[in-house]
Amino acid sequence: MVYQANPARYESMEYRRCGRSGLKLPAISLGLWHNFGDTTLLENSRQLLHRAFDSGITHLDLANNYGPPPGSAEENFGRILREDFLPYRDELIISSKAGYTMWEGPYGDWGSRKYLISSLDQSLKRMGLEYVDIFYHHRPDPETPLEETMRALDTVVRQGKALYVGISNYPAELAAQAIDILNNLGTPCLIHQPRYSMFERWVEGGLLNILQEKGVGSIAFSPLAGGQLTDRYLDGIPADSRAASGSKFLNADQLTEEKLEKVRKLNAIAQRRGQKLSQMALAWVLRGDKVTSVLIGASKTSQIDDAIGMLANRHFTAAELAEIEAILV
C-alpha cells in the first residue's frame, strides 16, 4: 500500500529556529545510527520512519558509517525514501556525516578534503539524493589543518551537494575556531552535534554558550544515554535491548548499581511529574533555550510516541531542577 503521511503531522510538534539561520528543526529529531542497518528488518525501519514523520519529526540524522555494516543505514534509508517518502522530500531535513573510518587506506577516515568530498558523493549515491540538507564533519581531526576541513564543507555547499554544514564532537575552543573559519568563507556553520544528556554534561562547560553567542544551533545526540535514562533497565537487561545486543557503546558493565540508583531516583521524580523517565530526560535537555533539538534513537514505534508525549510536559520548577541536580552530581 502506498504510504500516505498523517495529515495532522504538523499539529503537535514544536519547530525551533536553528541558531541565527532561516532553518527550523523539530524539537525532536530521529537518528538512524541503530536499527536501520542490514541486521534490522527493513519493515521495522520503515515503521519507525513512518511513525516519526507522521508525528512531525521532519529531521532524520544519518552518517556514512551507520549500519552495520557501514553504509547500510544510508542504503536502507534510500530505499524507504524512494518507496515512501519521495513526495515528501521537501518536507524533510536529511543529514549525513563523514569523519570516522569508512573505507580502507588513508583517504577513508578523519578530515581531509579528499575524504569528506568523496564520502559525501558516496552517501548521496547510497541514499539516491542529489543533495543532503546538512553535512557534518563527524569528529575533529588532530592532523588535518582545520582550514582544509572547513574549506571542504564550504565546497560541498557551493557544489550544491549540501544546503547547510555542521560539526560534531568538536570541543568548545575548536568549535569556535571552525565557526569563525566557516563564517569567513561565507558558509556559516548551521549546527553543532554534541553528546548531551543528564549523564554527559560536558557541553555545559562552555560549548553551549559559545554556540549561542555565535548564532549556531545545537542538536543533542544520545539524550537518553543510549537507553540508560529510561525505564528499560530498571528490572534487569531485556533481551531485545541495546545493552544486550553486544554493543560496544552500551553494555552491562556500564549499568552499575550506582548508576541504576540514580536512574531509580530520577524515575521517581518523573512519575511525580506524571511522565516517563525517558520523557523527563528529553525535556531536561531542552530546558532553557540553548539546545535546538534532541536527537533520539528508537527501536520501537512506541519509543517515538513516548518522545512525542514529552512535549506536553516540558517545564520544570526550580525545586525539581534542584532535586535532579542533587541526584546527578
Ligand X SMILES: NC(=O)c1ccc[n+]([C@@H]2O[C@H](COP(=O)([O-])OP(=O)(O)OC[C@H]3O[C@@H](n4cnc5c(N)ncnc54)[C@H](OP(=O)(O)O)[C@@H]3O)[C@@H](O)[C@H]2O)c1
Which residues here bind ligand X, judged by CB under 6 A?
Answer: 31-34, 61, 138, 168-169, 193, 221-227, 230, 232, 241-242, 278, 295-299, 303, 306
Which residue's CB is nearer to ligand X, number 138 or number 262?
A: 138
Extract the C-alpha cell encoding 295. Answer: 536527537
Provide the minimum distance between the beta carbon of 215 and ligand X in the complex, in angstroms, as a whole number: 21
Q: Exposure of 1 by Cβ count < 10 A (0-12 exposed, 13-18 middle, 19+ buried)?
A: exposed
Which residue's CB is nearer to ligand X, number 4 or number 101?
A: 101
Provide the minimum distance between the beta carbon of 60 and ligand X in the complex, in angstroms, as a whole number: 8
Extract the C-alpha cell encoding 201. Answer: 554534561
Which residue's CB is nearer to ligand X, number 98 or number 157?
A: 98
Q: Which residues pair with 82 in a beta bridge?
A: none
Residue 62 identity: L
Closest of 250, 329, 215, 312 to residue 34, by C-alpha = 250
Which residue's CB is nearer to ligand X, number 312 or number 322?
A: 312
Which residue's CB is nearer to ligand X, number 234 or number 322?
A: 234
Q: Where are the alpha helices (DSSP H) in 108-171?
A: 113-127, 146-158
Numbers of helices and strands, H then E, in the chain: 10, 10
Provide the minimum distance between the beta carbon of 244 and ligand X in the complex, in angstroms, as a whole number: 8
Which residue's CB is nearer to ligand X, number 124 or number 307?
A: 307
Which residue's CB is nearer to ligand X, number 138 or number 290?
A: 138
Residue 230 and residue 277 in contact, taking contact as beta carbons nearer than 8 Å? yes
Residue 53 and residue 301 in contact, taking contact as beta carbons nearer than 8 Å? no
Provide the minimum distance between the beta carbon of 298 and ligand X in the complex, in angstroms, as a whole number: 5
Q: Exposure of 151 by Cβ count < 10 A (0-12 exposed, 13-18 middle, 19+ buried)?
A: middle
Provide the minimum distance between the beta carbon of 66 and ligand X in the complex, in angstroms, as a whole number: 7
Extract the C-alpha cell encoding 283. Answer: 525535556
Which residue's CB is nearer to ligand X, number 87 or number 153?
A: 153
**Helix-strand-coil percent breakdown of the chain, rounded to 5?**
45, 15, 40
Residue 295 identity: L
Extract the C-alpha cell encoding 80. Answer: 524507504
Extract the C-alpha cell encoding 35. Answer: 536499527
Provide the minimum distance between the beta carbon of 1 and ligand X in the complex, in angstroms, as a whole number: 27
Kindly provide the residue ranges of all beta strands, DSSP E only, lying in 104-207, ordered along the sequence. Answer: 132-137, 162-168, 189-193
